A = this chain, B = another copy of it.
């Protein structure tokens, strides 16, 4: 047998045998994304799709299941049920990302790197784009954060504070990424280690400073301060973790931010 017919040994891409459900799913997905089905609208009933597509109900259901996992539709039983088109939600991005992190066993350092890349930028955008309502919401959480003493609540409020800052940037996509990244960090055991009173004090003053820059609509300042805040935190954690390899230097001018 001539190894691989004739002249082309390895040039062809791996042949992909499409399943019937994949084809239908692709068609429906295309219709949805092109706006032929608006969010809130109902797709045809399964048995109707069977009739109009010519494939069995098993395959039709498989296709719908695919779209459901992708977050494009939700499907409910009952008389007025069916498959409703919806906008893809944040969780449809966050869940795969979380699986990716867990499956690849991404380490804390990389996760914090992501925050370090995204959060200062978002803080700057928030300073630039925030509305008064945004500010009010942030102040509310900030007040609760300052007042909180209980450790477990503290951690939650800390995260909420950062998310509130990110949300006020009015960049939906970046906020979604930030939220998606925060989740694995929050659940990683390394992050759950004890937070000392010292660290909490430092965090509170840092938050205060950042918030002040946001109030003043000072974009570069908010960005810089958020960067310092995160860097300081990372250094503290990795130092305590007995992992000095990941120390990052403070940006530019030394200001001796931490105790």
Contacts and interface: CB of A to CB of B under 8 A. Distances in A.
The secondary-structure label for the interface of chain A is helix
Contacts of A252: 220
Interface string A212-231: 00000101100000000000
A66 B92 CA distance: 13
- Give the interface centre of A90, A100, A102, A217 by most chain B CB atoms within 10 Å: A100
A15 to B, nearest CB: 12
A5 interface: no
B177 A104 contact: no
A24 interface: no
B174 A114 contact: yes
Interface string A94-113: 01110111111010001101
A81 interface: no
Given A58-B58, A65-B65, A251-B128, A103 B72 contact: yes
A117 interface: yes
Contacts of A219: 250-251
Contacts of A97: 93
A32 B102 CA distance: 10
A118 B58 CA distance: 43
B92 A100 contact: yes
Interface of A: 32-33, 58, 62, 65-66, 69-72, 87-88, 90, 92-93, 95-97, 99-104, 106, 110-111, 113-114, 116-118, 121-122, 125, 128, 171-174, 176-177, 181, 217, 219-220, 250-252
A114 B114 CA distance: 12
Which of A69, A250, A252 has the most chain B CB atoms closer than 10 A to its own CB? A69
Contact of A113 (B101, B106, B125): B125
Contacts of A103: 32-33, 71-72, 87-88
Contact of A69 (B66, B87, B104, B111): B66
Contact of A117 (B95, B117, B176, B220): B117
Contacts of A118: 117-118
Given A88-B96, A114-B177, A220-B251, 4 more contacts: A88-B103, A93-B96, A100-B176, A106-B172
